[in-house]
C-alpha cells in the first residue's frame, strides 16, 4: 500500500543522529535470558546480508540506515532488493538454510507463518531497547507477537481511510469533515438526495471487501479470533461480533448499491467507480488516490479529502493496518549485528527523517505519527495517519493465510450484506471454520 511520498530537505544529514541514537546498548550476549539491551558488538570485516522488498523503501532510506550501522559497528551491508513474485517461497526456503540472509523485510501479517516454522529470531529479550521509548502501532506489533513473544521490528504502515469527492460533497451542502457516525450518515444522506440516479452510491462499500468491512466488527468490540493456551477461537458469533456484522450490513445496504453486496473492491475496480462519478466516497488505502486520478485526470488530488471512518462506538473505527516489518533469521551468523541494524531501522530518528520524511509512509509508532501530524500533512495524508492511530491486523496464527486464500472471510461479509444468511448463522459457520483452520 503506497501513499504519496514527501521530500525532506537535508534528510541525509540525519545519518549522524541515527548513529548516536543507536548506541545505547551495552554489549549483552544475544539469546541471554531476561530483558537485555541490544548488543554493541563490533563487526569489522563482517558483512550483514539484508533483504528488502522492491518498492518498500527508497534508496536514500536504506543508505542512511546502512551508513549509520557501518559507522556504529564497522561492518558492511550487502543489501539485496527482492521482487514480489514468489517471495513467500523464497523466504521460507532461505530461512531453512544454514546461512540465510540476516535481516528480511516481510509483510506484517506474514510473521506468524515464518515464526511458527522456527525461521525468525525471538526478539522478546530486546523488546524494550528496540522500542526506544516508542509505542508501536498495534496493527504492526500485534501480528509480530506470537504467544507473547516478539519476532519482528515494525518498519512502516499503510492504513485505510475514507476517500471522498470534496466537490461532490460541497455541492450537496456538506463542507465539514464528519467526526461522528451521525455526522457521517447525515452527510451521506445529503449526497444521496443530490444524486437520485439509480446506479449512484453515496458510499460505495462492496460487501466482500472484508478488510474494510471488518472495521465494523472491531468497532463493536469483537475480534476475528483470539488464542488462549494455544487454542484459537473465532469471535464473530459473540454478541459483539453479531452486532458488528449487523451494523455493517445496515450501513452497506443503506449507502452502497444493491449489486455491491457480493462484490469485492477489485471486480469491478472501486477506484474506477469513484473516478466515473458513481460514488462520492470509498474506504481504501492511499494507493486509491493515484488510482482515481489516473482513471480520471479531471479529478485532481486536491479534490479528494480523507478522514478515518467514525464508528458507532463514538471513536474512529479500528483500521486494518498493512505494512512491513524487519525480521532477523533465527540461523543468522550475525545476530548481534542484525539486532543493531534492526534497532537503527526502527528508531524514532529513522522513522521521522526517512520512513515518513523520504518514503512518505506512516511511521511505526504513535509518537512518530503524531509528530508527522504536527509537522504538517497534505489533506490526502491526514485521514490515513489519523486512522493508523487506532489500528488492528489479522490474527497472529500460522495458518491465517488459508483463511484469506479460501475467501471464507470475504464470503462471510458478502452473505450478511446480501441477506443470504443471517448474521448469527454466518458468524457461527465462520467461527467453526476458523477453529478448524487456525488449530489445524
- The residue with cell 466515473 is 276
H or E segment and range at residue 53: strand 47-53
pLDDT along the chain (440 residues), means of 10: 32 40 37 83 97 96 98 98 94 96 96 94 98 97 94 97 98 97 98 97 98 98 95 98 98 97 96 98 95 95 96 97 97 98 98 95 97 94 96 94 95 98 98 97
E strand residue ranges, 166-248: 225-228, 231-234
Are 47-158+321-382 and 160-320+392-439 equal in CATH topology?
Answer: yes
> What residues pair up with 51 in beta bridges, in sequence order?
80, 104
> Which superfamily, per CATH, for 47-158+321-382?
Periplasmic binding protein-like II (3.40.190.10)
C-beta of residue 286 within 8 angstroms of C-beta of residue 1: yes
pLDDT digits (tens, 9 = 90+) for 56-91: 999 999 999 999 999 999 999 999 999 999 999 999
Secondary structure letter of residue 160 according to DSSP? -
Residue percentage of the chain with pLDDT more than 90: 90
281-284 sheet: strands from edge to edge: 281-284, 161-165, 304-307
For domain 160-320+392-439, the CATH architecture is 3-Layer(aba) Sandwich (3.40)
Q: What is the pLDDT of residue 17?
A: 44
259-292: per-residue pLDDT in tens? 999 999 999 999 999 999 999 999 999 999 999 9
The reported pLDDT for the residue numbered 2 is 31
Predicted pLDDT at 78: 98
| C-alpha closest to that of 364 among 132, 145, 154, 161 | 154
* CA gap 188, 280 in Å, rounded: 9
Extents of the domains making up the chain: 47-158+321-382, 160-320+392-439
Q: What is the pTM of this model?
A: 0.89
Residue 32 is predicted with a pLDDT of 53
- Beta partners for 362? 157
Amino acid at each position: 500500500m503506497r501513499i504519496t511520498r514527501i521530500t525532506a530537505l537535508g534528510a541525509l544529514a540525519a545519518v549522524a543522529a541515527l548513529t548516536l541514537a543507536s548506541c545505547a546498548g551495552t554489549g549483552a550476549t544475544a539469546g541471554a535470558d531476561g530483558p537485555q539491551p541490544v548488543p554493541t558488538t563490533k563487526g569489522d570485516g563482517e558483512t550483514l546480508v539484508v533483504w528488502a522488498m522492491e518498492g518498500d523503501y527508497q534508496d536514500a532510506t536504506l543508505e542512511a540506515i546502512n551508513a549509520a550501522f557501518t559507522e556504529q559497528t564497522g561492518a558492511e551491508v550487502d543489501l539485496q532488493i527482492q521482487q514480489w513474485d514468489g517471495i513467500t517461497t523464497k523466504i521460507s526456503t532461505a530461512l531453512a538454510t544454514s546461512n540465510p540472509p540476516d535481516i528480511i523485510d516481510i509483510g506484517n501479517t506474514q510473521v506468524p507463518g515464518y515464526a511458527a516454522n522456527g525461521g525468525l529470531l525471538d526478539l522478546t529479550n530486546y523488546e524494550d531497547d528496540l522500542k526506544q521509548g516508542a509505542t508501536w502501532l498495534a496493527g504492526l506489533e500485534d501480528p509480530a507477537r506470537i504467544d507473547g513473544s516478539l519476532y519482528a521490528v515494525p518498519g512502516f504502515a499503510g492504513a485505510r481511510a475514507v476517500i471522498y469527492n470534496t466537490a461532490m460533497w460541497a455541492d450537496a451542502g456538506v463542507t465539514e469533515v464528519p467526526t461522528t457516525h451521525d455526522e457521517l450518515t447525515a452527510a451521506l444522506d445529503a449526497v444521496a438526495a443530490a444524486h437520485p440516479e439509480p446506479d449512484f452510491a453515496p458510499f460505495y462499500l462492496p460487501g466482500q471487501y472484508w478488510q474494510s468491512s471488518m472495521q465494523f466488527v472491531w468497532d463493536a468490540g469483537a475480534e476475528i479470533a483470539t488464542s488462549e493456551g494455544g487454542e484459537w477461537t473465532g469471535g464473530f458469533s459473540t454478541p459483539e461480533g453479531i452486532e458488528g456484522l449487523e451494523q455493517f450490513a445496515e450501513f452497506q445496504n443503506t449507502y452502497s448499491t444493491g449489486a455491491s453486496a457480493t462484490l469485492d473492491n477489485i471486480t469491478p475496480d472501486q477506484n474506477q467507480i469513484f473516478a466515473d462519478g458513481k460514488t462520492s466516497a470509498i474506504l481504501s488505502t492511499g494507493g486509491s488516490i493515484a488510482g482515481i486520478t489516473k482513471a480520471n485526470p479531471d479529478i485532481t488530488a486536491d479534490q479528494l479529502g480523507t478522514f478515518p471512518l467514525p464508528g458507532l462506538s463514538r471513536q474512529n473505527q479500528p483500521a486494518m493496518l498493512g505494512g512491513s516489518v524487519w525480521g532477523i533469521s533465527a540461523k543468522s551468523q550475525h545476530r548481534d549485528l542484525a539486532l543493531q541494524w534492526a534497532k537503527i531501522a526502527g528508531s524514532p530518528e529513522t522513522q521521522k527523517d526517512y520512513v515518513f520524511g523520504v518514503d512518505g509512509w506512516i511511521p511505526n509508532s504513535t509518537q512518530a505519527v503524531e509528530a508527522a501530524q504536527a509537522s504538517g500533512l497534505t489533506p490526502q495524508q491526514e485521514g490515513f495517519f489519523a486512522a493508523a492511530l487506532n489500528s488492528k491486523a489479522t490474527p497472529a496464527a500460522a495458518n491465517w493465510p488459508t483463511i484469506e486464500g479460501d475467501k471464507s472471510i470475504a464470503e462471510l461479509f458478502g452473505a450478511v450484506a446480501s441477506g443470504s444468511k443471517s448474521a448469527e448463522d454466518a458468524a457461527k459457520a465462520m467461527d467453526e471454520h476458523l477453529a478448524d483452520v487456525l488449530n489445524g
